[in-house]
A and B are shown apart, each in its own frame.
Chain A
Amino acid sequence: MTAGLVLDAVSVELGGKSVLKAVSLHVAPGERVVLAGPSGSGKSTLLRAVAGLAAVQGGSIHIDGRRIDTLPSAQRDVAMMFQSYALFPHLSVLDNLTFGLRARGSSKTAADEQAAAVAATLGLKQLLARKPGALSGGERQRVALGRALLRQPKALLLDEPLSSLDAQLRTTARAEIVRAHTGSAAAMLLVTHDQAEAMALADRIGILKDGLLQQLAAPRTVYARPANRFVAQFLGSPAMNLFEVRLALDGGLWWKNARLADAVAAAPLSKGGAATLGLRPEHLALPGSRWAAASQSSAVLQARITGVEAGGDQQIVWLEAEGERVAARTEPEWVARVGELVPVTLQLDPACWFASEGEGLLL
């Protein structure tokens, strides 16, 4: 028996269209797995399949060894927090929180006691008598979270829990979710399209595309070693720069008409071969930038500065080389002169190499 939530080759069809294709994943008790992916990738459908709101056509879902995909929602021991929060507008915060316990036959006093405990951790104590309509967005979000946590379900499903909040609140709410879940034995599966949220919340991130799980790994791994080009471009803002490079017979590295290096120490391609070189913007070092870390293996690209996006703690410098746009990240103090031609150092040590044919990561 595997503890936690286990999806084994789960396939879901909606209206004759295949939305999830044999997705397998495991969320351990107390673990937070975040599913990220573009709209229509099937991430919400996956949550709905676990909750019993979407029928599963293939594969199986188990919680603590008990098969649940054949059970009605109520018997699955899962709780779900909806993007819209789905609070009952006619019930007070207290009644919203205790709805599930009362529906399952708990006495009012027992349910109210449990609600009081959850309300205390989420800072809802003063709001218990109010109706959802009289709450702010952040308060509603906390009530919805509290309702999901209250029954201490084995699996906790959160569907875009923060997308209705403004940016400021989102950061604090993120921390709140982590705090509320810490110490709980629930396997948490959270869906988001916001990559910053995914990175911040996850023990492991799963990237979905077209109903297929592309990669499932720790946030740092998914960011630094994306399994394929799609993942590389989905995570990170701006996205990873991709260069279609060739290794010449004399050992030189070429990108289009630019010779980037005379020799490359560790490249997974043979002389005369081609590959895709992936570099995060922070791995493009601009001359004189303090952020230019040492790299044993490097290459140089002549590029023209076409624009600068200032950020408080960083800046994005947009460059043009060989007719393509390339992004570099520097410290905000670095002075960029638009139109200037600069030598950009490509740090090859942290680089990702993808196969030219197909998508996968080579090194």
Chain B
Amino acid sequence: MKHRLHLWGWSLPGLLLLAGLVVLPALLTLPLALLHFDGVSAPRFAGAENIARLWSDPLFWQSLSNSLKVLFISVPLRLLLALGLALLLHRNGPGIGIGRAAALAPGVTPDIAWALIWLFLLNPLYGPVALLLPLIGIAPDAWLTQPGVARGLLSFMTLWLIGELTVVLIAARQELGNDVYEAARIEGASAWHIFTRVTLPLLMPVLVLLACRDAALSFQTSLTPALIITKGGPQYGTLLLPMYAYQNGFEYLRFGYAAAIQLALFVITVLLIAVQLRWLRKWAMQGR
């Protein structure tokens, strides 16, 4: 009993913070979306006005499309990279700990910190990465003028956030055991055959799960770099959904409308995961 009390004692502050900062605002989103509220004057009831306005707001559709584009580029690439790293790092050997730590480190670095580092790296005048861009045929300041390049860079930056994916995949690979791999070797399977016919299908359930989680997370993790580095530009090219909500709420003080955007984001996330689950599960069943 005393032990229980201790547990509650230690976790209560964290739980309170979580409730106050995450759960409560999340729950308040729905009622807030039904109001006109600028944070100064008294809120007015808006009914479905905010939500209806989403339909006719070109910037909403633009930001949704941007978010999806970033997601469709970065999520598969992140999974692929993490899978590759996991297959390199799942064995035990000298220096492997350093490799695993290096894979995990960017993921535990605060968003704002790495976003600022990228801002420096991409500076068209002296940023080392920007100066390398011409090597692949991109002007060092193209990300400031071309929406597509800016979105591409934004997706590229998030490719470093694969620490957790890699750790989970390393664990999943180690779970598979050696026997089937030894059997496959004796049966004469090449490395590629083993990868496509053994490793990939056996890891598929974990990959499906990670794809869903990463897609949901992708909407959120892309906010910070968009806010710090590209600020939604050029030409709304990196205006992502969470950023549009942020601007509406905290720059234009349209809290009701911001809540409606968040609500849309939530619904879209749920839909996206549902579709992915169905589609990937089907593929995992037949795709052999």
Contacts and interface: CB of A to CB of B under 8 A. Distances in A.
Interface of A: 51-53, 72-74, 76, 78-80, 82, 84, 86-91, 95, 99-100, 103-104, 147, 151
Contacts of A88: 180, 183-184, 197-198, 202
Given A80-B183, A88-B198, A103 B288 contact: no
Contacts of A53: 182, 185-186
A90 B198 CA distance: 8
A86 B198 CA distance: 12
A73 B184 CA distance: 10
Interface of A is mostly: loop
A142 to B, nearest CB: 16
Contacts of A104: 188
A100 B194 CA distance: 11
Interface in B151-195: 177, 179-180, 182-190, 193
B124 interface: no
B175 to A, nearest CB: 12
Contact of B185 (A74, A84, A87): A74
Interface in B186-231: 186-190, 193, 197-198, 201-202, 204
A82 B187 CA distance: 12
A73 B198 contact: no
Contacts of A52: 185-186
A86 B180 contact: yes
Contact of B186 (A80, A89, A95): A80
Contact of A103 (B177, B180, B182, B190): B190
Contacts of A87: 180
A360 B193 CA distance: 51
A99 B184 contact: yes
Contacts of A51: 182, 186
A279 B124 CA distance: 93
A89 B202 contact: yes
A86 B179 contact: yes
A147 B189 CA distance: 14
A111 B194 CA distance: 18
A90 B190 CA distance: 18
A100 B182 contact: no
28 contacts: A51-B182, A53-B186, A73-B182, A73-B186, A74-B187, A74-B188, A80-B183, A80-B186, A82-B182, A82-B183, A84-B177, A84-B179, A86-B179, A87-B180, A88-B184, A88-B197, A88-B202, A89-B180, A90-B204, A91-B288, A99-B189, A99-B197, A100-B186, A103-B184, A103-B188, A103-B189, A103-B193, A103-B197
Given A79-B186, A99-B189, 6 more contacts: A52-B186, A74-B187, A88-B180, A90-B288, A91-B197, A103-B197
A88 B200 CA distance: 12
Contacts of B184: 88, 99, 103
A363 to B, nearest CB: 44
Nearest to A77: B188
A86 B201 contact: no
A95 B193 CA distance: 14
A95 B182 CA distance: 17
Interface of B: 177, 179-180, 182-190, 193, 197-198, 201-202, 204, 288
A90 B184 CA distance: 13
Contacts, number: 67
B202 A73 contact: no
Nearest to B205: A90
Contact of B182 (A79, A86, A89, A91): A86
Contacts of B185: 52-53, 72-74
B142 to A, nearest CB: 45
A82 B185 CA distance: 13
5 closest A-B pairs (Cβ-Cβ)? A100-B187, A86-B179, A103-B189, A86-B183, A74-B188
B151 to A, nearest CB: 37
A90 B193 contact: no
Contacts of B186: 51-53, 73-74, 76, 78-80, 100
Contacts of B183: 80, 82, 86, 88
A55 to B, nearest CB: 14
B265 to A, nearest CB: 35
Contact of A82 (B179, B189, B190, B201): B179
B196 to A, nearest CB: 11
Contacts of A80: 182-183, 186
B177 to A, nearest CB: 8
Contacts of A73: 182, 185-186, 188
Between A72, A87, A100, A147, the greatest number of chain B beta carbons within 10 A of the residue's beta carbon is seen for A100
Contacts of A103: 184, 187-190, 193, 197
Nearest to A95: B288
B92 to A, nearest CB: 13
B34 to A, nearest CB: 48
A100 B179 CA distance: 15
Nearest to B194: A103
Contacts of A95: 288
A72 to B, nearest CB: 8
A100 B188 contact: yes
Contacts of A99: 184, 187, 189, 197
Contacts of B188: 73-74, 100, 103-104
Contacts of B177: 84
